[in-house]
Amino acid sequence: MLLAIDVGNTNIVYGLFDGARLVHQFRVETSRGRTADEYAVIIRQLLAMRDVRADEVDSAIIASVVPALTEPMLDLVRRAFGREALVVGPGIRTGMAILYENPREVGADRIVNGVAAYERFHSGLIVVDFGTATTFDCVSPKGEYLGGVIAPGIQISADALFARAAKLPRVEIAKPTRVMGRNTQSSMQSGIVYGYVALVDGLTDRLLEELGFPCAVVATGGLARLIAPLSRTIQEVDDDLTLTGLRILYERNQG
């Protein structure tokens, strides 16, 4: 089985594939202070919970946007499974031309998302990823990565509001019953949630106008299912987009 590891700034997501099928998925908090040994213990315990033996994992691929954790993840795979993992980065075969001014600047997760979405839709694309940052990635109808937009993530923006406004309480990021709040909590929830809906729709409209070709608009990431039903531009949510992209890239780099 293939272990796909998506290292983000907030969470690390592990996906276990049996062929093309994602059979298990685990999410743990990203901690730069943990050692490779600690991460190895965690993943083996998680697999044991699902009755998966370590020797069933025969391959691994890693996409990391946290450089300090790339080597610990490589060590994790060596120590827990006795394997060498493939790392998404310069030199890997993606099957996608990267038309960024400096391709090395593009986050691994953004390329992985673009590859997975294009493999599915084979059309122009805008991929919206609701992670620590909210990113918009554009792919041409020919499957070229064109660039995109990086905005502060929902949680980051909410945390800044809670920290900098002394009289405002911390509230759950959830859809309020109406846009116009009648109390502080619902007013804040409306600003956070509907503010981000407006951000997504506004940026998507501008991107579509600038690109000049039809695009499927696909969302992924932790809060995608909160924002997507309220958005008029997001057409589909794929929770497993990044993990699927890692599997595709692993397959493209065999042999």
Catalytically annotated residue among 6, 109, 137, 238: 109
What sign has the CA pseudo-torsion 47, 237, 220, 112?
positive
For residue 255, the model assigns a pLDDT of 67
Fold identical between 2-87 and 103-246? Answer: yes
Q: CATH for 103-246?
A: 3.30.420.40
Q: What is the largest CA-CA distance in the chain?
A: 61
Is 37 designated active site? Answer: no
The answer to whether residues 115 and 245 touch, using CB atoms and an 8 Å cutoff, is yes
Tens-place pLDDT, residues 40-70? 899 999 999 999 999 999 999 999 999 999 9
pLDDT band at 166 (very low <50, low <70, confident <90, very high): confident
pLDDT average, residue stretch 240-246: 97
Q: CATH for 2-87?
A: 3.30.420.40
Q: Considering the chain, what percentage of its residues have pLDDT values greater than 70?
A: 100
- What residue spans define the domains of the chain? 2-87, 103-246
| Residue-by-residue DSSP string for 99-165 | -SSSGGGS-HHHHHHHHHHHHHH-S-EEEEEESSEEEEEEE-TTS-EEEEEEEE-HHHHHHHHHHH-
Range from 39-43, 113-117, 170-174, 180-184 that averages highest in pLDDT? 113-117
State the pairing for strand pair 59-64/2-7.
Answer: parallel
Tens-place pLDDT, residues 90-147? 889 999 999 999 998 999 999 999 999 999 999 999 999 999 999 999 999 999 999 9
pLDDT average, residue stretch 177-200: 94
Q: pTM (2 decimals)?
A: 0.93
For residue 222, the model assigns a pLDDT of 87
